[in-house]
Structure 1
Amino acid sequence: MQRTRLGRTGLTVSRLCVGTMNFGWQIGEQESHAVLDRAFELGIDFVDTANMYGREDGDGLSERYIGSWLDRTGRRDRIVLATKVYAPMSDAPNDRGLSARNIIASCEASLRRLRTDWIDLFQMHHIDRGTGWDEVWQAMETLTAAGKIRYAGSSNFAGWHLARAQAAADRRHFLGVVSEQCRYNLLQRHVELEVLPAAAELGIGVLPYSPLHFGALSGALRKQRDGAGGRAVLHAPERVAPHRPAIERFEALCAEIGLDPVTVAIAWLLSRPEVTAPVLGPRGAEQLDLPLAALTTTLGDDVLNALDEIFPPVGNGGPGPEAWAW
């Protein structure tokens, strides 16, 4: 398994991350454990979740399933474990956001569900415009000093949010943001304008989620023709149909070079210098095999150029302001 450092930290992680949003919402505890078992066998030791995952069917089921797996296997010391705070977990007015109260209370609740004493990467799931950065970092410092978290990360931040957050952390002589988890794939490249450049400048690792755009880049049209099930078919009207011409060209290119669309989509992300580890969303252990093949797949310049033609970057391409100015 290839490994890399998480942003500017000394922590190393596998180049693929197991995302667990489907745990509790799409698959049960036994299937979730099978995914984690297979990931561990393959050398994937980076596991990402959030307190809200599975909440509609229970209280943080994704975290609970991971916790029961850690209990069963005793592998906590071998896993880099990430979770998130922000989303409302109840109707209580203070049970949401990034107030110091909620950050600390959410961490304690996640620790109980995960059945662990510490969280390696505690991520802010969204920006909270109503809470100042000194309050956020005070809470994160408290958790770090108590040994309950090791690093703080962000998710769904704009580039200027990363800059403001890191500037505030620097004033407090605190490490600050070490990773940003953002939606990034061939069909959604907006983060190339400012988020990726900001992350690179600040030493923040990038963890792209939805690398297959909810299955649209997984060979969706082929699966539809073959009558196969899965997310690509389930979300066809809203995810596939608006991009059908591009996806047709993409699947034709993949067939021409003899690679599965999943492998190509993940390999493209891995080719981006800012990317630390794509966050996968498997619903079964077998869905880890094609992403794994991406680790040993090098896309030539001709293929990368063809992908840019099929899925053009925003504006002129590259970072702003050149992407939209001279």
Structure 2
Amino acid sequence: MDYRTLGGSGLKIPALMLGTATFGGGSEFLRKWGATDVAEATSLVDICLDFGSNMFDTADGYSTGQSEEILGQAIKGRRDKVLIATKTGMPMGLGENEIGTSRHKIIASCEASLKRLGTDVIDLYQLHAFDALTPIEEMLHALDTLTRAGKIRYYGVSNYSGWHLMKMLALADRHGMPRPVTHQIYYTLVARDFEWELMPLALDQNVGTLVWSPLSGAKLSGKIGRNRRPPEGSRLATDASWPVADDLLYSVTDVLEDVSGETGRSIPQVALAWLLGRPSISSIIVGARNAAQLKDNLAACELKLTADQVARLDAASAIPPVYPYWHQRRTMMKRNPPPVG
């Protein structure tokens, strides 16, 4: 397994880690992703460690804490061998203070996550979504309190816009508090919006990128293509995936199929290998319902695409930049080059 630096920190993490949103299946929507129990989760953790991948991503909002509880049981007795990332911010109940990232919510949620995970420290604590009603200084002070208390080692954010993240970075610097070291985002061959603003920000500010749903809700799993409809009973046949225009999807899957044939590797491995080569990526979070899926995904770390294969995937997945980036590139391309790692 390839190891990379966690953003601007000194911590090394695996380039591919297991996401645990499939653990628990605590809602009708999440059951469409999976409903992994403790025994199955323990087996998946075993496979990850055999591959050299020792980091696991969860959230209190995944099945209202069930995912954290199951992960805690799956790593019991080997906490010293793993790194844990979890998140807070999504609704945990119907009360007014059961959602968001106020100081009250961050600290109470962290304490609850520690208990569910069966540990005394969280390696990476993430704010799951931006809360516009809470001052960023309040979030920073809460995270600083948890850091000083030794309850979290690093923190990051998820699903922030560029100005949200930049404001947090600037205020952390102004007040002499720890900066967010990661930004967890949605990024795939069929969703490259991240590249316009968030990727350049990540490179400029040394914020590591963690990728969620790298196969676009199983759309790049190899089960769907120009002449293949989603299998009955699969996640793709439900609303538990993300919308992608058919013309873009089939343009990408056509090339993925070609490269898969050339390399003798699965379509998911090719899609993940493309992401691993993108600038700013610290790690990709892969999900799996079973051992076979997980082993196939983790093996993507062994695949190195040729420059020609990357160029073909780039071309097939290219989308027009949104404003003001199309204007910057059209009028000042030499002064506004695309980001490079």
Normalised TM-score (structure 1)? 0.91
CA shift digits 1:253-300 (9 cap, x unpaired): 234413311011100010012111111011112212222222121111
SS at match of 1:111: helix
Q: Which residue pairs with 1:18 in the alignment?
A: 18
**Deviation of residue 221 (structure 1)?**
2.4
Q: Which residue pairs with 1:162 in the alignment?
A: 165
Q: Which residue pairs with 1:252 in the alignment?
A: 257
SS at match of 1:277: strand
Verify the 8 A CA contact 1:123 1:152 in the aligned structure 2: yes
Q: How does 1:80-229 map to 2 (within 5 A)?
A: 80-221=83-224, 224=228
Q: Which residue pairs with 2:29 in the alignment?
A: none
Letter in 2 for 1:302: D
Cα pair distance change 1:122/1:234, threshold 3 Å: same
Cα pair distance change 1:248/1:6, threshold 3 Å: closer
Residues in 1 aligned to 2:98 and 2:291: alpha-carbon distance in whole angstroms: 34
SS at match of 1:165: helix
Letter in 1 for 2:283: A
**Deviation of residue 70 (structure 1)?**
2.3
Letter in 2 for 1:149: I
Superposed CA RMSD in Å reads 2.5
Q: Which residue pairs with 2:45 in the alignment?
A: 36
Of residues 40, 51, 63 in structure 1, which corresponds to 2:60? 51
Q: Which residue pairs with 1:286 in the alignment?
A: 292
Verify the 8 A CA contact 1:16 1:44 in the aligned structure 2: yes
CA shift digits 1:219-278 (9 cap, x unpaired): 122695795864344469975773453244134323441331101110001001211111
Normalised TM-score (structure 2)? 0.87
Of residues 304, 308, 332 in structure 2, which corresponds to 1:302? 308
Verify the 8 A CA contact 1:88 1:97 in the aligned structure 2: yes
Residues in 2 aligned to 1:33 and 1:224: alpha-carbon distance in whole angstroms: 34
CA shift digits 1:154-207 (9 cap, x unpaired): 000111111100001111111211000000000000010011111111111000
Residues in 1 aligned to 2:228 and 2:240: alpha-carbon distance in whole angstroms: 9
Aligned residue pairs, count: 320
Cα pair distance change 1:116/1:236, threshold 3 Å: closer
SS at match of 1:96: coil
Q: Which runs of 5 or more structure 1 residues have no equivalent in the other structure?
A: none
Matched, 1:267 2:254: no
Letter in 1 for 2:204: E
Cα pair distance change 1:247/1:201, threshold 3 Å: closer
Q: Which residue pairs with 1:4 in the alignment?
A: 4
Letter in 2 for 1:32: A
Verify the 8 A CA contact 2:47 2:295 in the aligned structure 1: no
Residues in 2 aligned to 1:13 and 1:247: alpha-carbon distance in whole angstroms: 29
**Deviation of residue 315 (structure 1)?**
2.1
Letter in 2 for 1:180: H
Cα pair distance change 1:298/1:138, threshold 3 Å: same
Q: Which runs of 5 or more structure 2 residues have no equivalent in the other structure?
A: 26-33, 333-341
Letter in 1 for 2:302: T
Cα pair distance change 1:238/1:89, threshold 3 Å: closer
Verify the 8 A CA contact 1:159 1:199 in the aligned structure 2: no
Greater CA deviation, 229-238 or 200-209?
229-238
* Percent identity of equivalent pairs: 37
Residues in 1 aligned to 2:139 and 2:313: alpha-carbon distance in whole angstroms: 40
